[in-house]
Every structure is written in structure tokens, then in C-alpha cells.
Structure 1
Amino acid sequence: MVQEYGAVLSALRGWGNVRPTEGGWLARCPVHDDRQGSLLVLAAGDGRVELDCLGGDCDPQDVAAALRLGPENVVVAPPAFEDGPGWLWPGYVPEAGVTVIDGEDGTSALVVALDVAARIAQGSTLPDGQQHRQARGVLALASPQNAQRMTEILAVSGPGADRIEVVEVLGGRGGQRGLRLPADADRLEQLLRERAPDLVVLDLMSLCPYRMPVGRALRALADVAARLGTAVIAVREASKRSGWMAAHRAQEAARPSMAAAVHLVVAGADGALALVPVHTSHWTVMGGLQFQAPGHRPVVWSSRFPHGSGQALAWADVRRRRPASTNARDLLCSLLSAGPVPTRDVLAAAVAAGLAPRTVQRARQQLGVVASKTARGWVLSLPEQGPSGGGALVGGQ
């Protein structure tokens, strides 16, 4: 058994006072000032363990992060939700309330929201490995301006995307414009009563008139969700002009009326993205989840986010301050570092990252990226690479 759990034991020995006990070990907890060795480490099979701090009641996810252990080493059981609100995704999406997903343009916040909705619609495994029942109905409410974008995202999403119905909603007198909140809250409530979905996904900014505080739209949306018992995932992708942190302040203002609200942010650094909870009204915040959004393929979820919500907010604010040209150069270097990539794949990734084609073109010129026509079509490569991944390449457009 010692050999099977070698990685875990090595991490524990770094803190000292490791001793065997029935079914596992006792060790010092790295989170609180533990001199007695009160961390119970139980063997769960396949080289993984369960962590239970008996002395400081520390969060198992915090303990795992301090020990630098990932999901391949540690089983983190979700908290019990029996005596609280119902959940479509325990700890992340309540059944009767609003889950806000904030992110800057290009962080794939809407893509993530629709991926989660597709999993709930299908009743398939959720991003953190939890299982839940299949939803009765899932709607994606779209304005006339973003209906096509939602349809395109769902077309390349994973199983369950075909169970999501994109509904273009109109408001105002005679339905002459897109839905606006709080002015059209009654029209929205009537639509949801008629359709009776379990989950609704919408782009919050498309429902918020220009210069209208986002908090007012959120309060109206939360009131409708609470009255109907409907789960709502509201995506707020802030542009650089409006400022990412404005979304955080707006959600703070709306929080008192959101009885079962969860606030998530999409943040990242060094090319990695993560969905990180920063607030929940009823429970200790669950851990963040890292993911990749390839652009023209389904979202790929990976390991737990090893940092706290404060670090996620700091990363998001730094990302907001970076010029688009820097993000474009970083994207090209990341995509092309392993070798030539088809031009269409690079463009798809740039669109998913919220980068304009002209910005990507300027970044190509600054880096000296070379285009070449091969049997597979046009490919892009860094100057020191050839179309097969090695050697210099001259020419191409």
C-alpha cells in the first residue's frame, strides 16, 4: 500500500509526524497550526485518499492545495445539501435562483455556461465529476443580436446541446426590440411560465439597456427566478471599455435579493482558464475548475483550480489591463509552439478568445509568423519552424 500511495506519503512527510493508523495515516495538517498530527488520511483506492482534519476542521480542498495534491491523488466529497435549497449542479447552480458567470470578452464565459447547461440537459457527468438528474427543459434566451452566436456555440458543443432550445425574445410595446430588464420582467415571467423550463441561460448584457446599472437587471431576474422556482445562469462578459471589475461591483449590489445566488468568475493566466466560485449565499465556496475552450470543439474540463478566489479576481483584473495585441501574441505563441497549425484552427481559437482578425494579423507580422500551403491546406508556423515542425520556412501569405 505504501508504494501505491507514494506521492501522497511524500507530500505528507514534508510536514512531518506521519504515522500509520487503521485504513490510512495521521499527519500534521498544513493549513492550521497543527502540532499533534490531527490530519486523518484514509486510503480510498487507486492511489487516492480522503482528507479529514480532526483538529481545525479545515477544508479538504485547502489541505490538498497546501500539500500540492491534485484530483488524481485526493477524493474531495461534495458537501451535503439535504437541508438547503435544491441544486441542478450542487454547489454551483441552485434550482431556484441566479448563478452569475462573470468574465471579460474572450474568456469563453458564454461557452462555459452553455456547456454546463448541455450537461444538465443530458443528465450527464458534470464538470467536477458529480452526477445529477436530467433537466426537464433548458432554454437559451437570446436577443436578436446574439441568437446566431448561441446557435453556433451549441453546434460545436458536446452531448446534450441538441436538448437546448434557443429562443429569441422580444420586449417593448408590440415586441419591437430585444427584451430589457427590469422593464420587461413581466414578459419574461410569462414566457417562463408557459415553457416551464428547469434551467435558463441568458446573456445578461443583452438584457441590460445602455447605461442601466447591471444590479437592477439582476434583481429583477432573481425575483422572477425565485417566484417560478427556475434556475438561471446569467452570463456577463464585460468589455475592456466597461471594465471587468464593474461586473463584480454590480453583482455585489444585487446580492441581497438573490436568496440562492452563486457568483462564478472565469479567470486565467499563462494561457490557462478556470471557472472559480467567489460567493454563494448558503454554503462554503466550492473549488474552482480548470478548463480549455478550443473554439470549434467542446469544452474540456481538467483539474481543480489550485488557487483561491482572490487570486482569480486579481488575474482577471490584470487580464483586463493587458492590450489586445499582447493577448494575440501570447495566443499565437501558445498555439504554434508545438509546431504548425492549420490557419482555420488558429482563427477559430482567436474568435473564441475575443480577438479581432486585424489584431491577430498584426500579431502575426510582429512575430514573423509564416504561412505555407501544404497537402492539408494553409498552415501557420513560427519563424524557426517549417510546415513539418522543423527548419526555417520562407514565403507564404
Structure 2
Amino acid sequence: METKGLPTLPASRIWMMNFGFLGVQVAFTLQSSQMSRIFQTIGADPNKLGWFFILPPLAGLLVQPLVGTYSDRTWAPKLGGRRLPYLLVGAIMAVIVMLLLPNSGSLGFGYGSLAALLFGAITVAFLDVSSNVAMQPFKMMVGDMVNDQQKSYAYGIQSFLSNSGSVLAAIFPFILTAIGISNVASKGVVPNSVVVSFYIGAALLIVTSLFSVFKVKEYDPQTYAKFHGITENDNASGGNWLELLKKAPKSFWTVSLVQFFSWMAFQYLWTYSAGAIAQNVWHTNDATSAGYQAAGNWYGVLAAVQAVAAVAWSYLLAKLPPAKAKVAYATSLLLGALGFLSIFLIHSQYLLIISYILVGIAWAAVNTYPLTMVTNDLSGVHMGTYLGLFNGSICLPQIVASLASFGLFPLLGGSQVNMFVLAAVIMACGALSVGFIRNKKEG
């Protein structure tokens, strides 16, 4: 078979390929930035928050390899191609769930009731399943269609859109409160500022996803095989996951080690930020208080600061030569560790902006380097399955972090603020582990 290699794509096509990632990230950010607030508002015990935060990564751990495996073998031209049909189904499911989740406290179950918490937990799990189904096709299409020279640019665009979605989602409650939508509600009921934020996010998700579905044309199986230098039969079967893992390049495992520490630290950021800010700045642990809800809104602003910092830092990282990638990766994570530590130390809401800028620098590296390093070492055979399996390096550390929190949280005094010291140490370990990364060229 004649091998052409992947062509150079116009920038406009790369942008269209990734545009729907904006809406998907709005959904993920609303989930990550507001989930702790929602569950504590409806009566969850802070010491048991880990149970709720296990569900999203567990869903991703199971769903993304399945999406990768089946989309490798899918060709449905009337529905968009190989990856886009999964994007469409995932987006529709996510929209439905986003309309349900913020209403967990408005269905008459009662404050702190098992029914309210179960309803919230189930909807969170479904939101993460559907968001993962919608998100994975974007990562796979870059691997499918973008050559090695343009891949950093493509994932940089993805990172830019991702962080732009994060900014929008994070500031929704703050802006809605500023224009007069209530940020307080009856005990156990999620404020309208949060509920309406989810409604707006659902609209953005479906609009941006449909844009990618209608504007992107994926390679048919014959073209894909020719460009990647493989045969059509190479992706005819799903591949045995264990066998594929045995054959995975070294970068798959060494980058996964860095991912383990990075995502474990970020799991604690999402779980405890709202409570830590309320404790350090507003001096309250009462999730039903106006102070706590104000802290929840301010965390949204800080999450937006984090995302803007990530956008800016991603731009700088894209300008660096590949030879500097590991140094930049490690430095970024180390600055993030300092950011986590400063959240523990700072009691001023405005000085926390500096903390979340540093955290955003680490977030930029986490979203820029891992996929680029791994996909550059993969052929086109079982690309989707490999990327789905690589998602385990994101999901497993979040599960470990949540399970460990049941012992670590009381050990550290039952204080949400103290968990940031632990997160700082973990992120610093991630920075050090960058030195173990090896790609094909390095052996």
C-alpha cells in the first residue's frame, strides 16, 4: 500500500475540528467548580465528599476506552464518520443531565436526605458519562487527522477552547448574581445563580457540538489507512486491551506516572476549594450561609482566573521547541505546587488570584504535553482505543485521591484548607517524575 502520510491541514479546519470542545469544557467546569457546592448545599458531609467525586472518574475510566474501541471500527458517513456520532449522542445526553443536576435540592427530598444525595450522585455520574462520550472524539480526531508537525498546534487550540469554556462556566454564577439573580435559597436548595448557569451551559454545549458535527468531514477508512500507512483491517477488530497495553510505547507509561500525581492534586482542588475559601476568607464552614455561597461564587471567579492563566501559559508553551518540552512541563507543575501551598496560607480573597494563576500554569501543562507526547509515539492502529486507555491516567488518580481522602481528611484535622498542603506535595512529586518520561527516540 502506498503511504502518503497525514497532510498539512489549514488552520480553519483544525479550529472547526475542536470548536465543540468549548461546550464540552463548559459542562465539565460547571461540574467540577460547582459540584462540591451543590452537594454541601443539599446537605453532604464534607468528610464524605470523596464518595461523590469518585463517580465522575469511574465513569470516565469505563466509558472512554469503550468509545475509543468502538469508534475505531465505526464508519457512519450519514452521522459524520468515525468519532462524530459519539460526540452527537454524548452531547444530547449531557444536555438532559445538565438540566437535572442543579435541581437536586428542589424536588422535595429534604435537606441532607439520602434521596436528595442519591439523585445528585446519579445525575453527576450520568453527566460525566455523557461528557466523556462527547469529549473523547475531539482528542481522537486530532490523532486521526493531524500530522506530527501540527499536533502541538492542534492540542494548543483544544487547550485554548477548553480554557475559554472554563472561563465562561466559572464566572456564570458570579455574573448572574451581579445582574440580580438570587445567590441564596431555602435550606437545601441550590441557588438560582447556579441553576441558570447549568441551563446556559447546556445550550452552549449543544450549539458548539453541532457546529463541529456539521463542519468537520472525517477521513473515510480507505483514506485513513493510506495516510497512516496501515491497512483497513488493522482497525477491523477492537483489539485486546491487555495486549495493547503490553505493546504501549514507553511514553504511555512514563507520562502516566506524571499524570497520576497531577490529577490527584487537581482532584483535591475541585473537591475542597469552595470549602477552603469559605473557611480561610469568609470564616465559615456552614454551607447554608450567605458567606459560604459568596465563597462559592468567588471560587468560580478564581477558576476563571486559572483558565485565563492557562490560556496565556499554553500560548507560551506552544512557542517553545520540542527539546524544551520536559523542562517546561516540570517547571509548570512545580509552579502549580506553589499555587496549591499558597491557597493554604492566604486569607485574602484577592491575593488568592495569584494562587490560582500558578495553578493555571500547571493546568496548561497538564492539558498540553501528555497527549502530544503519547500520540506522537502511536501509529494509526487502534488510536482511539489507546487514547481511551490513556484516559485511565486521568481517572485512576482521581479515584485514588477520593478514596484516600476518607483517611487523609480526618488525619489532617478535618480541615478542607489542610488538604491543599497535601495537594502541593503531590503536585511537586509530579514535577519530579517528569524526568522519567521517555519517548521512542530516547529509547
TM exceeds 0.5? no
TM-score normalised to structure 1 length: 0.25
Structure with the largest fraction of helix: 2
Q: Please state which structure has a larger fraction of its residues in strand.
A: 1
Which one has the largest radius of gyration? 1
| Bigger RCO (CA 8 Å, 6+ sep) | 2
